Amino acid sequence: MRLPFIAGNWKMNKTVPEAIVYAKQFRRIVEDVTDVEIVVAPPSLAVHAVAEALRSSNVGVAAQDLYWAREGAFTGEISAPMIREAGAEYVIVGHSERRTYFAETNASVNLKTCAALAADLTPIVCIGEKLDEREHGETFAVLDLQIRTALEGLAPEQVGALVIAYEPVWAIGTGHHATADQATEAHRHIRRRLREQFGAEAAERCHIVYGGSVKPANIRDLLAAEEVDGALVGGASLEVESFAEVVARSRPATV
Ligand code: 13P
């Protein structure tokens, strides 16, 4: 059975001291939650401090990006082994903001996903269509290309351990979340493709989570949608109370 997976992507928010205060408060509020897999993704400068503040807790830590080489002359970049050593267990790969503003491609997402897996990090691989692609009926074609390229060369066991975040670009930061039907349609399609390409077991184990304007007010409806295994939360993860509320409302007994 797939436990709900709820991750907070802080994007470029919070200084190290702010991140530590958040982590210490948050771990206390969610300490009894054993039926949700919880992750926070601070900016990379705060990954180590947040991992320390969350040590021996039920909250994991993700970095928001990585570079695929292990080390070398790549000014400004950080590698998967560095992230792992800093205390994170997850890394977000291919977020649409990286694709839009920093020229991330499906091919680079593949290199990063492979590098993360090689360093024993769980990649949270982001895919999703833009508004004009949806309006032109290209949603499934876009998802197909993203899945096929980003996961190329992965073994079924590796795909089974992944988190795939379906984040329709038009829903990110806009207040317009996908409806439960739209989420189900996309997630069902993604799982079908995983089944075709990597087999039934990998497709069953893989978490497919939804992202885009998730809030305490809509998390229950989204999680009740078929094939939605959790959420990648942006704005609503920035305050301890609202993110803790998203987690509380994701507990299986409450959905
Ligand atoms: P919002 O929840 O702010 O729409 O952001 C979603 C997102 O991009 C998470 O990665």
- Number of the ligand 1 atom closest to the C-alpha atom of 213: 4
Cα-to-centroid distance, 46 and ligand 1 (Å): 19
Does residue 80 belong to any structural domain of this protein? Answer: yes
User: In this model, does residue 1 exceed pLDDT 80?
Assistant: no
Burial call 3-16: b when 16+ CB within 10 Å, e when fewer: bbbbbbbbbeebee
CATH number of the domain residue 164 falls in: 3.20.20.70
Instruction: Tell me the mean pLDDT in the region 150-167.
Output: 97
The answer to whether residue 157 is catalytic is: no
Report the alpha-carbon distance of residue 74 to residue 88 in Å, rounded.
Answer: 21
Q: What are phi and psi of 5, to 5 degrees?
A: -115, 120
Active-site residue, from 97, 104, 133, 167: 167
Does residue 245 belong to any structural domain of this protein? Answer: yes
Q: What is the pLDDT of residues 226-244, one digit of tens each?
A: 999 999 999 999 999 999 9
Which residues are within 8 A (CB) of 185 and not within 5 positions of it... i.e. 6 or more apart?
none
For the chain, the residue count is 255
Q: What is the pLDDT of residues 191-214, one digit of tens each?
A: 999 999 999 999 999 999 999 999
Q: What is the three-class DSSP state of 129?
A: coil
Does residue 255 belong to any structural domain of this protein? Answer: no
- Tell whether ligand 1 has an atom less than 6 A from the beta carbon of residue 233: yes
Domain containing 214 equals 5-250
The residue among 97, 94, 98, 93 whose CA lies nearest residue 83 is 93
Q: What is the three-class DSSP state of 150?
A: helix
In this structure, which residue's CA is closest to atom 7 in ligand 1?
234
- Number of the ligand 1 atom closest to the C-alpha atom of 172: 4
When divided into structural domains, the chain yields a total of 1
- Tell whether ligand 1 has an atom less than 6 A from the beta carbon of residue 172: yes
User: In this model, does residue 168 exceed pLDDT 80?
Assistant: yes
What number of other Cβ atoms are within 10 A of residue 81's Cβ? 16
Regarding pTM above 0.85, the answer is: yes
Report the alpha-carbon distance of residue 97 to residue 12 in Å, rounded.
Answer: 11
Does residue 128 belong to any structural domain of this protein? Answer: yes
